[in-house]
Structure 1
Amino acid sequence: MSESGFKYSILASGSSGNSFYLETDKKRLLVDAGLTGKKISSLLAEIDRKPEDLDAILITHEHSDHIKGVGVLARKYHLDIYANEKTWQVIDEHQMIGQINQEQKHIFKRGSLMTFADLDVESFGVSHDAAEPQFYRFMKDNKSFVMLTDTGYVSDRLAGLIENADAYLIESNHDIEILRSGSYPWRLKQRILSDKGHLSNDDGAQAMIRTIGRRTQKIYLGHLSKENNIKELAHMTMENSLLSADLGAGTDFKVFDTSPDTATPLTKI
């Protein structure tokens, strides 16, 4: 008898590399592989999984902290890779992941739904300085997980599209004051703060206030900058913002941290 729902682990989340693992009885997927193949293999081992068991890699966008290990893993383990057309064009044009057999390359259109055996995956566009960045909502047996990082803002339309998921990975990239007073060049600061940059701790919290619902049990804080954020500050900002909006952080749902180099426990949803 097959299990209901699915299991997931945030293998790595941060400015230095990102990868998300999800499994059902019939499919094992990675979303992004922004670290070396060796590091992703060791992160999978932390949750007692092996790269040779993977079926496919879904790509969100072409920045290196999301695709660094894609080519190596795809070639070594003969994995299918899914990305939208514009993302593929940039990856191929700049040879970002090396040579990949044509039959391993697949199109996942932005704003579309694809079914992988017993799992439905919906893609949605975000506002980021990449060719055509998209993130994903995973759905099975009336359960859903939304991953949303690498966006400068969350529109009302997007907030409505991703509302009331059971769990979220939401971007808490930077604290605005730490970023402004930090050592980054002004042009880079402007990029991060722009509508095509990254969500701050406050932005991520406001996005969650607009999207969580009665189903929501877990919120994971992702893509924290090592230079422009502090894990405890990001966590406190999220919890305090939710509490001040009369949303019961810690009671109805819990806020969890992620790491750039340690996997979260394999969790059933």
Structure 2
Amino acid sequence: MSTEVKDGLRISVLSSGSTGNVTYIESPHERLLIDAGLSGKRIEKLMGDIDRSLTDVNALLVTHEHTDHRKAVGILARRYEQLDVYANQGTWDAMAPRIGKVDLAQKHLFAPDTVQTFGDIDVESFSVSHDAAEPQFYAIHYEGKTFVILTDTGYVSEHVEGVIKNADAYLLECNHDVEMLRMGDYSWPLKQRILGDKGHLSNEEGADVLMDVLGNRTKRIYLGHRSLHNNMQSLCHLTVASMMENQDFGVGHDFELLDTQPEQATPLVTL
């Protein structure tokens, strides 16, 4: 299937959550996936849901080696020979024993804090604080539009805030409600890991980051990587919206606050 691509930068969050993460991005001349954290069949199904096919995807960019971000990396690389896979050296080394054989011609390095060009799209990588080998996320730039993906980090540094400031759209982590996590049945070491500087952003922390970085260009905010055990969609959305409204941010007026699902694609929209 080859579908005509409209002008502009178009995005769909195919899946976001603690069980799997995949984001699709396209321009008139390029089609990218960020992460492949579901089975190959599930990703193919979600692509079909937005009338797209993996046969047309040019590159897969991996953020880090955790299963919910790299589960189908090897499977997709072997199934789709046109698919080039990009990750930094630490991530390649960490996921190599878990993804099976990937053809050398499909393997590419994408170092942290660098920019690479994919057709008419420029992608900027930036390091984050997470308990993975060498985690990094991406800011996607196309003709004056920017889409930032930032999940799986215990905190956001001033440097990263500077890199991602005033993007047109964000997929940003709001992983857990702190009280739900503390009162839940996770082990204490796991709770400490999630709450720590190399863990995940809470709903409140995600809202704080958004209020620091969004600007007059920002029109769409996707709340992502929500925990199935320590969060609820309604609570996540209400917490972020309330905090932002209390600081006079124009939720629903100046920008849209959008929910994401573990295995349900958001509509393919043009920024």
* 8 Å CA contact 1:4, 1:141 repeated in 2: no
Secondary structure of the equivalent of 1:96?
helix
Q: Is the 8 A contact 1:30 1:57 kept in 2?
A: yes
Partner of 1:23: 26
1:89 aligned residue (85, 90, 93): 93
- 1:76 is matched with 79
1:6 aligned residue? 9
Q: Deviations over 1:195-215 (max 9, x none)?
A: 000000000000000000000
Q: 1:243 aligns with which of 234, 240, 245?
A: 245
Return the alpha-carbon distance in structure 2 between the equivalents of residues 70 and 83 of structure 1: 11
- Hey, what's the Cα distance between the residues in 1 that align with 2:266 and 2:34? 15
TM-score by length of 2: 0.97
Choose the corresponding residue for 2:38, options 35, 41, 44.
35
Q: Give the CA deviation at 1:160.
A: 1.4
d(CA) in 1 for partners of 2:131, 2:213 = 24
Match of 2:145 among 143, 146, 165: 143
Deviations 1:81-129 (A, max 9, x none): 000011111122xx11100111110000100000001000000010000
> Are the aligned partners of 1:35 and 1:68 in contact in 2 as well (CA < 8 Å)?
yes
| Cα deviation code 1:202-232 (max 9, x no counterpart) | 0000000000000000110000000000100
Q: Quote the Cα distance in structure 2 between the aligned partners of 1:3 and 1:254.
A: 22
- Rounded to whole Å, the distance in 1 between the matches of 2:244 and 2:177 is 17
Question: CA-to-partner distance for each residue in 1:159-194, whole Å, 9 max, x for gaps?
Answer: 111000000000000000000000101110000000
Distance in 2 between residues matched to 1:258 and 1:264, nearest whole Å: 7
What's the CA shift for 1:5?
2.5
**Alignment match, 1:127:** 129
Give the aligned residue type for 1:68: K
The aligned length equals 266
- How far off its partner does 1:4 sit? 4.2
Partners of 1:104 and 1:36 lie apart in 2 by 19
In the alignment, structure 1 residue 63 sits paired with structure 2 residue 66: yes
| CA-CA distance at 1:3 after TM superposition | 5.2
Distance 2:21 2:65 in 1: 12
Confirm or deny that 1:154 pairs with 2:166.
no
User: 1:124, 1:82 → 2: CA distance?
Assistant: 14
1:117 corresponds to:
119
Matched residue of 2:122: which SS? strand
TM-align CA RMSD: 0.9
Describe the shift of the 1:4–1:53 C-alpha distance in structure 2 as closer, same or farther (beyond 3 A). closer
Stretches of structure 2 lacking an aligned partner (at least 5 in a row)? none
* Per-residue deviation, residues 112-165 of structure 1 (Å, max 9, x unmatched): 000001000000010000011000000111001000000000111111110000
Whether contact under 8 Å (1:18, 1:32) holds in the other structure is yes
Q: Supply the distance in 2 between the matched residues of 1:214 and 1:155 (Cα, whole angstroms).
A: 21
Contact (CA 8 Å) 2:8, 2:28: kept in 1 or not?
Answer: no
Counterpart residue number, 1:227: 229
Q: Equivalents in 1 of 2:156, 2:243: separation in Å?
A: 16
**CA separation in 1, counterparts of 2:89 and 2:73?**
17
- 1:261 is aligned to 263
**Unmatched segments (≥5 aa) in structure 1:** none
| Percent of aligned pairs sharing the same letter | 53
